[in-house]
Amino acid sequence: MMRAAAAAAPFLLLASLAAGAAAAPAAPPAGAKDPEFPARLAAFKKLFRALPEAVREPLPPQGETFIHQKQFLARAEEHEAETVAVVKCVQELARTRDGKVLEELIRGLGLAGRMEPVARKALDEVVSKLEPVESAYFQKREEHFRLTGSWPSMVVIAEQRAVDTLRWNRQEAAHGLDFVLRTRDALVEGMGTNLELLAEDRAEAWKAALRMAQAPDPSDRASFCEAVKTVPGKDVEQALLGLESKEKDPWVLSAAIDALSRQGSPEGFRRILARLADPDLGVVVAAVRGLARYRSPETIPALVERLKTAEGRLFSDLVETLFDVTGKHLPDQATAWAGWWEKDGKAFLRRWSEDVAERLDEVETIGLTDERLIDVAAELAALLPTERDPKVRDAILENLSIHRSNHARVTLIRCLSAPEKATRLAAIRGLGQYRHVSVPEELIARLPHADAEETQAIFVTLRTLWGGPGEFQVDGPDREKLQRWWDTVKERVAEQFVKLGSRDVAGGKKPPETGGETRWQDRNFYGLRVDSDNALFVVDISLSMEEPADRPGSTRTGGPAPAVGGKPLRKIDVAQNELRRVLRGLPDGTRFGLVLFSFKPEVWDQGMVVMDGEVRKKAIAWVDALKTREATNVHDALETAFSIGTKGSPLKAAAPADTIFFVSDGEPTVGKFLNTQVIRDQVKRWNRGRNVKIHVIGVGEDHDVSFCRALAEENGGFYIAR
Q: Which DSSP string do the residues of 414-427 spell out, in sequence order? A: HGGG-SSHHHHHHH
Last residue within a domain, chosen from 225, 256, 279: 225
CA 438 and chain centroid, separation? 17
In a domain, 291, yes or no: no
Residues sharing a CB contact under 8 Å with residue 568, sequence separation 6 or more, in sequence order: 548, 549, 560, 561, 562
Same-domain pairing of 369 and 404 = yes
Average pLDDT of every residue of the chain:
81
244 touches 271 (CB < 8 A)? yes
Same-domain pairing of 697 and 565 = yes
Which pairing describes strands 609-610 and 567-568: parallel, antiparallel, or unpaired?
unpaired
Residues sharing a CB contact under 8 Å with residue 282, sequence separation 6 or more, in sequence order: 250, 251, 254, 658, 689, 690, 691
Q: Considering the entire predicted model, what is its pTM? A: 0.82
Same-domain pairing of 530 and 492 = no
DSSP assigned state of 83: H
- Give the percent of the chain with pLDDT over 90: 37
- Please give the Cα distance from 103 to 191 (Å, whole number): 9
pLDDT of residue 45: 59
Residue 256 has pLDDT above 60, yes or no: yes
| Range scoring the smallest mean pLDDT among 256-265, 333-342, 367-376 | 367-376
| Range scoring the smallest mean pLDDT among 178-192, 250-264, 516-530 | 516-530
CA 501 and chain centroid, separation? 16
Q: For 43-55, write each residue's pLDDT tens digit.
A: 655 655 554 433 3
CATH of the domain at 672: 3.40.50.410
Residue 244 has pLDDT above 90, yes or no: yes
Q: What average pLDDT does range 534-542 have in this prediction?
A: 94
Residue 29 has pLDDT above 60, yes or no: no
CATH of the domain at 452: 1.25.40
pLDDT of residue 40: 60
pLDDT of residue 153: 62
Same-domain pairing of 610 and 714 = yes
The angle, 0 to 180 degrees and rounded to 10, between the axes of the packed helices 479-489 and 452-466 is 30
424 touches 413 (CB < 8 A)? no
C-alpha distances (whole Å) from 228 to each of 69, 324, 707 are 43, 26, 29
- Please give the Cα distance from 120 to 117 (Å, whole number): 5
Higher pLDDT, 306 or 140: 306
Residue 700 has pLDDT above 80, yes or no: yes
The sign of the torsion formed by the CA atoms of 633, 636, 641, 645 equals negative
C-alpha distances (whole Å) from 205 to each of 141, 198, 550, 593 are 59, 9, 60, 47
DSSP assigned state of 602: E
Query: Per DSSP, what are the bridge partners of residue 607?
Result: none
- Please give the Cα distance from 233 to 424 (Å, whole number): 27
- Please give the Cα distance from 387 to 362 (Å, whole number): 13
Residue 1 has pLDDT above 60, yes or no: no
Q: For 449-492, write each residue's pLDDT tens digit.
A: 888 999 999 999 988 887 654 567 788 888 888 888 888 877 66
Q: What average pLDDT does range 561-566 have in this prediction?
A: 51
| Intra-chain end-to-end CA distance of the chain, in Å | 43
Same-domain pairing of 574 and 462 = no
Of 229, 220, 273, 272, residue with least CA distance to 249? 220
In a domain, 10, yes or no: yes
Same-domain pairing of 468 and 561 = no
The sign of the torsion formed by the CA atoms of 479, 483, 486, 488 equals negative
Same-domain pairing of 665 and 712 = yes
How many CB atoms sit inside 10 A of residue 45's CB?
17
- Give the percent of the chain with pLDDT over 70: 81
Last residue within a domain, chosen from 203, 225, 247: 225
pLDDT of residue 541: 93
Higher pLDDT, 230 or 649: 230
In a domain, 116, yes or no: yes
- Please give the Cα distance from 692 to 716 (Å, whole number): 8
CA 455 and chain centroid, separation? 25
pLDDT of residue 659: 95
Residues sharing a CB contact under 8 Å with residue 570, sequence separation 6 or more, in sequence order: 545, 546, 547, 548, 549
Residue ranges making up the domain that contains 383: 353-497
| Range scoring the smallest mean pLDDT among 342-351, 387-396, 498-507, 644-653 | 498-507
Last residue within a domain, chosen from 205, 225, 245: 225
Q: What average pLDDT does range 659-663 have in this prediction?
A: 96
Q: What is the dihedral of CA 369, 373, 378, 383, to 10 degrees?
A: -50
Same-domain pairing of 30 and 81 = yes
pLDDT bin (cut points 50, 70, 90) of residue 654 is low
Question: How many angstroms separate the most distant Cα atoms in the chain?
Answer: 83
Residue 81 has pLDDT above 90, yes or no: no
When divided into structural domains, the chain yields a total of: 3
Q: What average pLDDT does range 337-356 have in this prediction?
A: 93
- Please give the Cα distance from 351 to 346 (Å, whole number): 10
pLDDT of residue 652: 66
In a domain, 154, yes or no: yes
In a domain, 322, yes or no: no
Residues sharing a CB contact under 8 Å with residue 686, sequence separation 6 or more, in sequence order: 638, 639, 642
In a domain, 311, yes or no: no
Residue 558 has pLDDT above 80, yes or no: no
- Please give the Cα distance from 521 to 411 (Å, whole number): 29
pLDDT bin (cut points 50, 70, 90) of residue 554 is very low
| Range scoring the smallest mean pLDDT among 80-84, 202-206, 423-427, 430-434 | 202-206
Radius of gyration over alpha carbons of the chain, in Å?
A: 27
Residue 518 has pLDDT above 70, yes or no: no
In a domain, 274, yes or no: no
In a domain, 244, yes or no: no
DSSP assigned state of 436: B
pLDDT bin (cut points 50, 70, 90) of residue 692 is very high
| Range scoring the smallest mean pLDDT among 9-23, 549-563, 657-671 | 9-23
Same-domain pairing of 563 and 479 = no
Query: Per DSSP, what are the bridge partners of residue 719?
Result: 696
- Scanning 447-509, the segments in alpha helix (DSSP H) are 452-466, 479-489
Determine whether 10 is exposed, middle or buried from the number of CB atoms within 10 Å of its CB (0-12, 13-18, 19+).
Answer: buried
| 206-217 as b/e: b if 16+ CB within 10 A | bebbeebbebee
Same-domain pairing of 599 and 641 = yes
Higher pLDDT, 156 or 348: 348
Residue 385 has pLDDT above 50, yes or no: yes
Of 404, 354, 362, residue with least CA distance to 379? 362
Same-domain pairing of 42 and 176 = yes
Same-domain pairing of 455 and 564 = no
